[in-house]
A and B are shown apart, each in its own frame.
Chain A
Amino acid sequence: MNRREFLAAGSAIAAASALPSFALADDKTITVFSSSDNNIIDFWNNTVIPAFTKANPGLKVKLASGGDENGVRAIADRALAALKSKTDPQVDAFENFDARLPAGAAEAGLWVSFSAENIPNYGRINPQAQNLKQELPYRGSQVLLAYDKTKLDPKDAPKTWEQLVAWIKKNPGQFIYNRPDKGGSGGNFVRRAIHEVNGRDPSKFTISNYSADFAEKSLMPAWAALKDLAPFLYEKGAYTSGNTQSIQLLSQGVVTMVPVWSDQVLQAISQGVLPETTGLVQLTDLALCGGFARMTVFSNGANKDAALKLGNFLLTTEMQSAIITQIGGFPGVSWDHISTDLREKYKDVVPNSIPTFPGGDWNSAINDGWYRNVATGLARG
């Protein structure tokens, strides 16, 4: 390369980096942030994005991990500020988010309202999963109990909360759940305890009926119930620091039963992290909480239309089948839109209903309350 070529190339590179919007004019890159675990990020990078870019030449997807829910919430805060000042939020969609956040965003029109007009596949969505117009539920998972079949006969596996508590107390040291803020499996186990002491009625809790008084009244009995359980847990009240560590303790044969995410445990079994002798059971009086991952699209994003195309693509039969076979999730669409053999194969794992627990202020009330009331005063070794 002679000097003139070098200068030409150098200035071209400088120009390209100085004007990113020009460079992307005919090759759009959709920026998506995810708050999900690594298995979902891998699923997107290895399956969703290659299939989408193949079907839509000229479109690219950049998926970044926002860490956790609070991480992407901070990005949503900034996008809301950008909406008010009419600037580019530099983000087009979230892989999984609650459109009720940040406060006032939905009213201000931060999120695109989905309908059959902008998402042709919208009608396929499972009515049970539908919630807000601004959310596109495309995959689901639920917390259930995983246990070691060599130590616990499947016919003796607990089916109700009462049986579960009785089993934990009869088998001290054989159960552990993770800290509620560090992963949804322990978090939803804690929320199931809150449901239990409040009449097993998930509709009692909504994002808007939070008040300090109501939280105090409804959460204190749950802390008492969980504290009562603590001496019978692993190490008389130890709590792992995440979903993965719970699965690790189950796989090392340290404990007999842990709460797990359905998709994570199915993946762990298929990869051999957990043995074939791992049993799964769901409580039948009221299931442990779960939920759908809901994609949200920014109305002020630079690539809104492309992001809507991506949303539509997630609801195709191809992607929905991949969600079942590759990550062990539930489809976001009704089962009529899934191939018959898959429907037959997975009919046992598919829930009839998925109870949910609202986020928002409840999250901090539950996290703080649990640490202060349940985790303290342990007998330490």
Chain B
Amino acid sequence: MGRGLKGLLLIAIPVFLVGWLIIYPIFAAILSTLFFDGPEGLRFSTASYQFFISDPYSRANLALTLWTTGMCAVLLLIVGLPIALYLRFSTNRFADLVQSLAIFPMFVPSIILSYALIRTIGPNGTVDILLNAVGLPKIKSPYLTPWGPVIGLVWDHLPLTVLMLTAGLGSISNSAIEAARDVGAGPLRVFWHIILPRMGNSILVTVSFTILGIFSAFTLPYVLGPASPEMMGPFMLRTFNALYDPLNAKTQAVISFAFCLFFGIFYVWSIARNQKGQSR
């Protein structure tokens, strides 16, 4: 009993902070977009949601956000998985170098990354200069197109992806792989039948984690992306700040939150499933 109370006291502060700074604002925002003070008391209205759904401009912004998020998640897996596999199974010194390189983007603030990307893959940037030097044509610059934020976000989220996938791979025992090799399985078969089924959970966690981060991205889409359609992050800020329209900004936030909630539940579900599996 006494220990239980102590435990509750230990978690009281974080729980209080989460309730005060996160849970309460969420419910306050949702309620304030649905209930309005009128002359005859509280009034219920979904007008701002109807506006969002019927407004092609807002819908285009949401579609671009979903497209960017999905594209980034796919690209991150394609880029991150080979690096994670290499780090898991390689034992030489070179792997340390690869690991520190893969972690490096974590320490670069995204605003600096944005301007650096304009300088390198932007028009007449470093890549163009190098291509020009060997007589090749310039690249079609992704700057100010939807691909600009995609490239930036993939770079920015690579460390977290690699770290989580490597952690997932760590739980695969060497003996299982060696056993498969002994009966003559090639590398591809080992990957497909031994590794992949065992890391499904960590892939799910990685994907939901990166999606949560990218959905609400701000700096990279703001600086590198097109003026229109824009991602939800810059769109919300602009609605609130430049159009003095807190109601629609909150509506956009609630809709973004609903999408993130879906992936959040997914994440919590896979964590819970994992823990249940371990305790068994």
Which A residues, 347 to 381, have Cβ-Cβ distances below 8 Å to chain B?
A: 363-364, 367-368, 371-372, 375-376, 378, 380-381
- B57→A254 contact, CB < 8 A: no
A179-B227, A364-B244, A380-B226 known; A249 vs B123 contact (CB < 8 Å) = yes
Instruction: Give Cα distance in the complex from A179 to B223, angstroms.
Output: 11
List the A residue with the shortest CB-CB distance to B147: A381
- A252→B57 contact, CB < 8 A: no
A85 within 8 A of B: no
> B193-231, CB under 8 A of A: which get 1 and which 0?
000000000000000000000000000001101111100
- B243→A70 contact, CB < 8 A: no
Contact of B242 among A240, A242, A363 (CB under 8 A): A363
List the B residue with the shortest CB-CB distance to A242: B223
- A252→B238 contact, CB < 8 A: no
- A254→B243 contact, CB < 8 A: no
Instruction: Give Cα distance in the complex from A245 to B222, angstroms.
Output: 12
- B241→A68 contact, CB < 8 A: yes
Instruction: Give Cα distance in the complex from A371 to B245, angstroms.
Output: 15
A218 within 8 A of B: no
Instruction: Give Cα distance in the complex from A254 to B140, angstroms.
Output: 12
Contacts of A363 in B (CB 8 A): 242
Contacts of B243 in A (CB 8 A): 364, 367-368
Contact of A252 among B60, B124, B229, B242 (CB under 8 A): B124
- A248→B118 contact, CB < 8 A: yes
Contacts of B264 in A (CB 8 A): none
- A381→B241 contact, CB < 8 A: no
Contacts of B122 in A (CB 8 A): 248, 252, 254
A241 within 8 A of B: yes
B125 within 8 A of A: yes
Which B residues, 49 to 84, have Cβ-Cβ distances below 8 Å to chain A?
A: 57, 60
- A240→B125 contact, CB < 8 A: no
Contacts of A241 in B (CB 8 A): 222-223, 225, 227
- Closest Cβ of chain A to B68, distance in Å, is 13
Which of B115, B124, B222 is the most central at the interface, judged by chain A CB atoms within 10 Å of its CB? Answer: B124
- B144→A235 contact, CB < 8 A: yes
A238 within 8 A of B: yes
- Closest Cβ of chain A to B199, distance in Å, is 36
- A381→B124 contact, CB < 8 A: no
Instruction: Give Cα distance in the complex from A375 to B238, angstroms.
Output: 14
B146 within 8 A of A: yes
Which of B123, B222, B223, B227 is the most central at the interface, judged by chain A CB atoms within 10 Å of its CB? Answer: B227
- B146→A70 contact, CB < 8 A: no
> B171-183, CB under 8 A of A: which get 1 and which 0?
0000000000000
A239 within 8 A of B: yes
- A375→B227 contact, CB < 8 A: yes
B145 within 8 A of A: yes
- B223→A245 contact, CB < 8 A: yes
A181-B238, A376-B228 known; A381 vs B140 contact (CB < 8 Å) = yes
- B226→A367 contact, CB < 8 A: no
Instruction: Give Cα distance in the complex from A70 to B245, angstroms.
Output: 12
- Closest Cβ of chain A to B182, distance in Å, is 52
- B125→A252 contact, CB < 8 A: yes
Instruction: Give Cα distance in the complex from A179 to B125, angstroms.
Output: 22
Contacts of A364 in B (CB 8 A): 242-245
- Closest Cβ of chain B to A70, distance in Å, is 5
- B123→A372 contact, CB < 8 A: no
Which A residues, 53 to 112, have Cβ-Cβ distances below 8 Å to chain B?
A: 68, 70
> A232-258, CB under 8 A of B: which get 1 and which 0?
001100111110010011001110000
Contacts of B222 in A (CB 8 A): 241
- Closest Cβ of chain B to A209, distance in Å, is 19
- Closest Cβ of chain A to B110, distance in Å, is 14
Instruction: Give Cα distance in the complex from A378 to B228, angstroms.
Output: 8
Instruction: Give Cα distance in the complex from A254 to B226, angstroms.
Output: 17
- Closest Cβ of chain B to A89, distance in Å, is 21
- B226→A238 contact, CB < 8 A: yes
26 contacts between A and B (CB under 8 A): A179-B227, A181-B238, A181-B242, A235-B144, A238-B144, A239-B144, A239-B227, A241-B222, A241-B225, A242-B223, A245-B118, A248-B118, A252-B119, A252-B122, A252-B124, A254-B123, A364-B242, A364-B243, A367-B242, A367-B243, A368-B242, A371-B57, A371-B227, A371-B238, A380-B145, A381-B145
6 tightest A-B CB contacts, nearest first: A375-B228, A238-B144, A181-B242, A254-B123, A375-B227, A239-B227
A70-B242, A238-B226, A239-B144 given; name 14 further pairs at CB < 8 Å: A179-B227, A238-B145, A240-B144, A252-B124, A363-B242, A364-B245, A367-B238, A367-B242, A371-B57, A372-B57, A375-B226, A375-B227, A376-B229, A378-B227
